[in-house]
Structure 1
Amino acid sequence: MAKGKTTAFFCKECGYESAKWLGQCPACKEWNTFVEEPSGKRESGPKRGIGGNGERSAGILMNAKPSRLSDIHLDEQDRMKTGYDELDRVLGGGVVKGSLVLVGGDPGIGKSTLLLQVCRNLAAGRRKVLYISGEESLKQIKLRANRIGEVKGDLLFLCETSLELIEGAIVEEKPDVVIIDSIQTMFREEISSAPGSVSQVRESTNILLQIAKGAGIAIFIVGHVTKEGVVAGPRVLEHMVDTVLYFEGDRSASYRIIRGVKNRFGSTNEIGVFEMVESGLSEVKNPSEYMLSGRPEDASGAVVACSMEGTRPMLLEVQALVTPTAFGMPRRTAAGTDYNRVNLLMAVLEKRCHYDLSHFDAYVNITGGLRMNEPALDLAILMAIVSSMKDKAVDPKTIIFGEVGLAGEVRAVSMAQQRVNEAKKLGFHTCVMPEISLEKMGKVEGMRLIGVGNVREAIGKVVG
């Protein structure tokens, strides 16, 4: 009698494999993450590896030799420009040859559109690009390509989900850049589980990793995200790739943010801002100007703050609305910032400044649909709350930033000079900042700098 298919249990978070179901994963310590999947035996075949000369080789590498640092030439890792300065900044200066980049985001956010535009730019720059789609037909891709503009250069398209056929196409065409859309649709015939399962995603990514490192091909893979906002599949997927980019934003809004959460070739603090227009995605060169557009001039509860995203200062408007509550327990709402942080700051206001907020509802909003959690926004949030409570408008040409501690002190923030320079560039003439940061700065021509040591002092100088 033929032997039936065997099954195994895999952790959805880290990919740990077990012969039986476990309540807690021994590797990542997460609970209720094990799923049962078929575990067919892999066909015996030649072992694969990455040759020292940068080419993919078959057979056991008996002559693999280590190299000295002096023998490694960095000119082999030249970066390819994507044609978008915003994306190049997030990637650390461009696409590195032989890198594996994971792009995640909500459905319909614009991942495929952005990558298709990057392909068009790379092909126009005399790079050979292969776009592989497992979700769209060639006609659907052409309809989207017609919307983003004319495509020139060596840009090839393939609709396929079998990794064996995709591997053969890559070996035959030898492109500089490959796009895989998406990794959850790819499968290997040797793995008996369905596409998108833990086994298939892990094995597919491993094959693409070998191709990228062995042949020096830059590969972008698109990953679907779960309702928690993380890439679907095992957590080991993010550990295997070189760079992880998340595409964020509200589908009902026109602006998108691409954020690097892992990058072996650059900083993980940089963001890129794009706008969804009729012809695709367009770069936003000056996001501060956009964030402040349509700002009310003499409205209470509106304060301009400055947040740092990597090396880029970004001005944004913090709004607060404080109204008497009609219920026994007042409401607290935060949009675009951490809800618990807002509650903490309001507790500081009650304890250190003796404001009775127990009979008021409080709503805090970061305009523009962006989410910012930098501590430097603390002082601006507090000034917006006090401004709304007293119904007194803050000078529209004043910018405020500073971290607030539980004792009510205003603590120093990083890159204060860059924040002040960005405010001056956009026409602001007054800056309220931590006193300790002001002591480390020189005078800025055309800007009135006000240093504050605690929240009570800040309220007296800003709201009165």
Structure 2
Amino acid sequence: MARAAVAYVCEACGAVHKKWAGQCSACNAWNSIREETAALSAAAPAGKALGAKRGRRVPLGSLAGSEAPPPRAFSGMGELDRVLGGGLVPGSAVLVGGDPGIGKSTLLLQAVARFAASGLPAIYVSGEEAPAQVRMRAARLGLVDSPVRLAAETNLRDILTTLEAEKPGLVVIDSIQTMWADHVDAAPGSVAQLRAAAHELTAFAKRRGPAVILVGHVTKEGQIAGPRVIEHMVDTVLYFEGERGHQFRILRAVKNRFGPAGEIGVFEMTGEGLSEVGNPSALFLGEQGEGAVPGAAVFAGIEGTRPLLAEVQALVARSALGTPRRAVLGLDGARVAMVLAVLEARSGLSFTGHDIYLNLAGGLRVSEPAADMAAAAALCSALTGKPLPPRAAFFGEISLSGAIRPVPQEEIRLREAEKLGFQVAYAPSRVKQTAESGISVRRIADLPDLIDTLFEGIPA
């Protein structure tokens, strides 16, 4: 006999509390605790989760083995296959998150059509849109002749029964927040329903072998809504990023059990759907890649395994406010604040009384410390009003002492800059360069050395 019990569950992290509170003590999120009803078994012994019954012994093995890599299905979309680690692995569970209207459904409809055209039986289950709406999108994208089977359903039991009978190779669930399991006494979209639906669909993928792609909503902070345990259940977590004012979108692998995390794929939003961007560096450099405008510096970065050049733009202006404004887009605001502090303390430059705006062109987001030198060069150029040398790229981490520290994969960064026609690279002093490299490397030891090299000393 089961009895109903009330639990208070945090929607952000899934922690269970005995009573309601305004802030979750596990993840410190505010107003995230919701009351839920759970069924507890009266037969469970008090103080013992599993009781006294003994289970079977689990066979143990060694780390040695010669298993072949898992087979993969290819969509033909190189950017998507790259982010997935080289293709879609059968039996894997993939979670895709992104802002509303960013293009998640468009991307997945194009992807499932490509997989189906390559011979992989595919089913698209929509819990948010009617079949007519999905067909209208397919007509706009030119996919009406694709062999994709479509369903509009939210009942998880009916969906799993259908999938068991149809035996597809790929299933897309759009979205996981709309799924409803009838054995869980909670509203759709709640923590209990999300956890149950994700568990059942992931278990189905492991048990029957199809790849399952789940679409997830995101919160206003940009994180996938629901408990973080969902991200631990699946094999791959992808974030679809981009600004609505820009035409391109970035698909980023945050977690991937079958490939490198941090890998990105770049797409361009057009009237006929999402198209792949073969050379994203040229897109992110924009028209100011020559560095003729003060405050523009080109950063040679690495996203996953891909080298990527992007333009860092800085604007320093006199402030009429008592507290000058600091606005940072695309870079880590904490690291930019540190770079400003080191510039003032170690180089003699003063940004006091100035508003500072720092932007990464094209809406790209970069978090690696190697962008420190490019940000420092752009800020110094904007403050002095002197443009940086043309066709120059920058990379290097700045320490609190003002020294320029080495960064990983320096040779790959140099090759990408050389391929795009850059003639000089400002890099850490210990950078290694091959003899056949056609790009000139200026080795920078610290921030004063950088300023002396670029501006012939600190302006008066």
Same fold (TM over 0.5): yes
TM-score, length-scaled by structure 1: 0.89
Q: Deviations over 1:53-90 (max 9, x none)?
A: xxxxxxxxx99985868999956931111221111111
Whether the 8 Å contact between 1:130 and 1:175 is mirrored in structure 2 is: yes
Deviation at 1:386, TM superposition (A): 1.3
1:252-331 counterparts in 2 under 5 A?
A: 252-295=245-288, 297=290, 298-331=292-325
Structure 2 vs 1, CA of residues 340 and 28 (structure 1 numbering), >3 Å: closer, same or farther? closer
Identity over the aligned pairs, expressed in percent?
Answer: 46
1:167: which partner in 2? 160
Q: Deviations over 1:178-198 (max 9, x none)?
A: 000001111011222111011
2:240: which partner in 1? 247
1:430-441 counterparts in 2 under 5 A?
A: 430-437=424-431, 440-441=432-433
1:33-182 counterparts in 2 under 5 A?
A: 33-40=32-39, 66=59, 74=67, 77-182=70-175
Deviation at 1:423, TM superposition (A): 0.6
Amino acid at match of 1:421: R
TM-score, length-scaled by structure 2: 0.90
- Distance across 1 between alignment mates of 2:121 and 2:179: 22
Structure 1 residue runs without a partner (length 5+): 45-61
Structure 2 residue runs without a partner (length 5+): 44-54
1:10-49 counterparts in 2 under 5 A?
A: 10-21=9-20, 33-40=32-39
Q: Deviations over 1:286-331 (max 9, x none)?
A: 1001111222642111111111101111111111112222233322
Whether the 8 Å contact between 1:120 and 1:151 is mirrored in structure 2 is: no
Secondary structure (helix, strand or coil) at the match of 2:150 reads strand
Q: Deviations over 1:11-69 (max 9, x none)?
A: 22332345543667676676764310232579x9xxxxxxxxxxxxxxxxx99985868
Deviation at 1:463, TM superposition (A): 2.7
Structure 2 vs 1, CA of residues 155 and 72 (structure 1 numbering), >3 Å: closer, same or farther? farther
The CA RMSD over aligned residues, in Å, is 2.5
Structure 2 vs 1, CA of residues 187 and 4 (structure 1 numbering), >3 Å: closer, same or farther? same
Whether the 8 Å contact between 2:398 and 2:404 is mirrored in structure 1 is: yes
1:358-373 counterparts in 2 under 5 A?
A: 358-373=352-367
- Distance across 2 between alignment mates of 1:368 and 1:172: 46
Structure 2 vs 1, CA of residues 454 and 190 (structure 1 numbering), >3 Å: closer, same or farther? same
- Distance across 1 between alignment mates of 2:313 and 2:23: 43
Secondary structure (helix, strand or coil) at the match of 1:251 reads coil
Whether the 8 Å contact between 1:13 and 1:236 is mirrored in structure 2 is: no
Whether the 8 Å contact between 1:127 and 1:154 is mirrored in structure 2 is: no
Q: Deviations over 1:159-187 (max 9, x none)?
A: 10001110111011100000000011110
- Distance across 2 between alignment mates of 1:133 and 1:183: 10
- Distance across 1 between alignment mates of 2:19 and 2:273: 48
Question: Number of residue pairs matched?
Answer: 442
- Distance across 2 between alignment mates of 1:106 and 1:172: 34
2:434: which partner in 1? 442
- Distance across 2 between alignment mates of 1:26 and 1:319: 40
Whether the 8 Å contact between 1:383 and 1:463 is mirrored in structure 2 is: no
Secondary structure (helix, strand or coil) at the match of 2:113 reads helix
